[in-house]
Structure 1
Amino acid sequence: MKKIVKTMIILASILVIAMASVVLFMALSPQFGGHPTQKQQLIYNQSPQHRDGKFANMGDVKMEMTGKKFWAMIKEQFNVHPNATPSQAPQPIAMDPAELLQNNGDFRLFWFGHSSFLIQTNGKNILIDPMLGQSASPVPFIGVKRFNKEMPIEIEQLPAIDLVLISHDHYDHLDYQSIKRLKDKTKAFYTPLGVGTHLRAWGVHSAHITELDWWQHAQLDELSFTCTPAQHFSGRGKWFSDQASTLWCSWVIQTPEKKVFFSGDSGYGPHFKTIGKKYGPFDLALMECGQYNELWKEIHMMPEETILAAEDIKAQIVMPIHWGAFKLSMHDWLDPITRASAKANETGLPVITPRIGEGLVLNGEIPATTQWWEERRKEPMVTVNK
């Protein structure tokens, strides 16, 4: 009996230590971001999008995970999913730091995979959702890992950044380590309401942060940036109390010559047509198409809806994004681009599919890209159980 009691005491002690470690990590780790001051919270409370103490979607659309839907999601997590990750990581094209310094006014676009971009235009360097780290998780060594271990370029090799645009505070869009490496070489950060709280906690000076509500815009010399609606949610998971405590958005980027739309994360909804009426047509739409599932289609578009959304905003060209870097859902890793491209072929909407790191120039013609992802279908499948 004494041995049993001793064993139970040891196990209970281990459990208490483990729980205490988790609590301390949640409380002290900078990965989770910051909390707004009382003054900042009063500003957020005045937003039309802030209701009952939380930010909300147009029409109060929510992702409900109750009853049968909840159990269906749990079951999905334990199903076998062939080819959810590539057998070999996509090989990025190396970006030349010297070439990036030759920012001569052309609208140039570089994709880092997922939803991260470098845009060079009118002599400015703009980063969008710069998740340039290896793990989309607060715990890097056990979290969701990037397919490719090598990036097209290291942050330290990038030219000075004039502006970082952030769509929302999820880990696959707002990365603590990336911001820490970028903050000293970046002049300004534009975010939706509340996200600046995380940046300030990570050492970004308040004078360099501009927080916008939906339909508000900011000017950087001859460039205009408008914070527009998305149908999503927010939260970095700290005690689950921060859910919807910051706003999420899409972005309209306007130069004297070009107009580009960046969707951020969003389910399909009427906001796309509203944006199209107010700001369309667009020369290019960077539109999410990956990490989808019928169980959460309220907050992530199905690939066919990606093309419908691009048509709604009156895009002349669409680039499907939010795929090719991380496994955050259970579908074949090539399904998003395959299905979106097939739908675009039906509608006649031009699609571009650059490789990670490949530079494109938007000069009035459709940039030439290859369907490089089709080559990957010949590779052996990888079976993933989660």
Structure 2
Amino acid sequence: MITTLILIGFLVITYLAFTNFYPSFGGDISKEQMIVYESSKQFKNGKFSNTNPVPKNLSFSETMKLAYTFFTTKVPNGRPKANLISAKIDSTNIANYNGEARMIWFGHSSFLLQIDSKTILLDPMFGKVAAPLDILGGNRFNAELPLEIAKLPKIDAVIFSHDHYDHLDYKTILKLKDKTNHFYVPLGVGTHLKSWKIPSSKITELDWWQDVKLDNLNLVCTPAQHFSGRKLNNGQSTLWSSWVIQTKTENIYFSGDSGYAAHFKEIGEKYGPFDLALMECGQYNEQWSDIHMMPEETAQAGIDVQAKKIMPIHWAGFKLALHEWTDPIERVIKKAKKLNIDVITPTIGQEIVAKDSTNTYINWWKNL
């Protein structure tokens, strides 16, 4: 018994030491910050929460069982047969662009958005794995990016939806921080950025339904139904969100990660219709459908936000669930046809014009 207790104590001390000193885990919310966050309707008893009482808090044994199932279950066609090939972008094409709103998909939920003469990154996660250490995760599906970070022009803004590793990546931030003018994040996420030496003056934290002006752009932090945390002992310490990005003539919605809930209709009624909605669709399971939509719900959420067309995201990047890698796109297209909502399916690196109505995209994932 004494030996067992000593071993457990050693493991706990090792874990705490590792997470406190290894920078990838980010920062921790201070007591002073908690006092400030108490003014948020989402902050209760020292943690952020959803409007609905989700997600369910798993016990330690339930967490270990879920982790065991994930790491030991073999999924046929869980990854592409080979690395996905990204279309390449010329850096001068990005630096000199001054046209209508367009986007470049980097895979998963990462985008380069050019709108109103601004260059913006959405959830830029350009790392090899969605984990604090490379040995803890599988490689991304596209080994090469459409454009390497070093060749990106000056970035006017980076927008993050939440602090999970497949959205907020330490090594990516290190490469972006000196070429980025400003970071816009939900409450608390700035703590991680500050721990990575980004000045407070370059960070704006927003609560749900708060907005901020970036010259002629209107950026709105809108609700999502998800959760947060980068280690075992700081779950729900930062807020999660979706985002609305508006000019006088263009309107884009970015869902972040979210389960299906009433907030989509609220957002559509308040800020819709949208020229394009980037909608989470992937890494789902019935066991956690309250925090990640099933593909059929993704299509319905597009209707709810009043999108003229949707683009499924959060797929074709990493294997983070137990479905085949092409299931998300196949299922959402099938449901969208029944609901009569347009779905666009660009390849990684392909130009996406927000107000384009031709939708000339191919089913590029077939047989890969």
Partner Cα separation in structure 2 for residue 16 and residue 293 of structure 1: 34
Aligned with residue 298 of structure 1, among 290, 294, 317: 290
Q: Percent identity?
A: 48
| SS of aligned partner of 1:130 | coil
Q: Quickly say closer, same or farther: Cα 1:196–1:327, change in 2 above 3 A.
A: same
Structure 2: tracts of 5 or more residues without a match: none
Partner Cα separation in structure 2 for residue 161 and residue 21 of structure 1: 38
Partner Cα separation in structure 1 for residue 165 and residue 61 of structure 2: 28
Partner Cα separation in structure 2 for residue 293 and residue 303 of structure 1: 10
Q: Which residue matches 2:323? A: 331
Partner Cα separation in structure 1 for residue 290 and residue 61 of structure 2: 16
Aligned with residue 150 of structure 2, among 146, 156, 160: 156
Q: Which residue matches 1:206? A: 200
Q: Which residue matches 1:5? A: none
Q: Which residue matches 2:24? A: 31
Aligned with residue 92 of structure 1, among 82, 86, 94: 86
Superposition misfits of 4+ residues, deviation over 6 angstroms? 11-19, 67-72
Aligned with residue 306 of structure 2, among 309, 314, 332: 314
Structure 1: tracts of 5 or more residues without a match: 1-8, 377-386
For the 8 Å contact 2:276–2:355, the answer to whether it is kept is no
What CA deviation, in whole Å up to 9, does each residue of 1:258-306 have, x standing for no partner?
1111000000001111111111111111000100000000000000100
Structure with greater Cα Rg = 1
What CA deviation, in whole Å up to 9, does each residue of 1:89-146 have, x standing for no partner?
2111111101111221311110000000000011100100000111110112332321
Q: Which residue matches 1:261? A: 253
Aligned with residue 144 of structure 1, among 138, 148, 152: 138
Q: Quickly say closer, same or farther: Cα 1:210–1:154, change in 2 above 3 A.
A: same
Partner Cα separation in structure 2 for residue 114 and residue 224 of structure 1: 25
Q: Which residue matches 1:272? A: 264
Q: Which residue matches 2:215? A: 221
Superposed displacement of residue 88, structure 1? 0.7
Partner Cα separation in structure 1 for residue 172 and residue 74 of structure 2: 33
| SS of aligned partner of 1:106 | coil
- Using the TM superposition, name which of 28-37 and 332-341 deviates more: 28-37
Partner Cα separation in structure 2 for residue 67 and residue 155 of structure 1: 39
Superposed displacement of residue 228, structure 1? 0.4
Q: Which residue matches 2:50? A: 57
| SS of aligned partner of 2:134 | coil
For the 8 Å contact 1:107–1:119, the answer to whether it is kept is yes
| SS of aligned partner of 1:164 | strand
For the 8 Å contact 2:284–2:292, the answer to whether it is kept is yes
Q: Quickly say closer, same or farther: Cα 1:366–1:72, change in 2 above 3 A.
A: farther
- TM-score normalised to the size of structure 2? 0.93
| SS of aligned partner of 1:353 | coil
| SS of aligned partner of 1:311 | helix
Is 1:133 matched with 2:127?
A: yes
Superposed displacement of residue 40, structure 1? 2.4
- TM-score normalised to the size of structure 1? 0.89
For the 8 Å contact 1:317–1:366, the answer to whether it is kept is no
Instruction: Report matched runs for 1:59-78 at 5 Å.
Output: 59-65=52-58, 73=66, 76-77=69-70, 78=72
Q: Which residue matches 2:239? A: 247
Aligned residues: 365
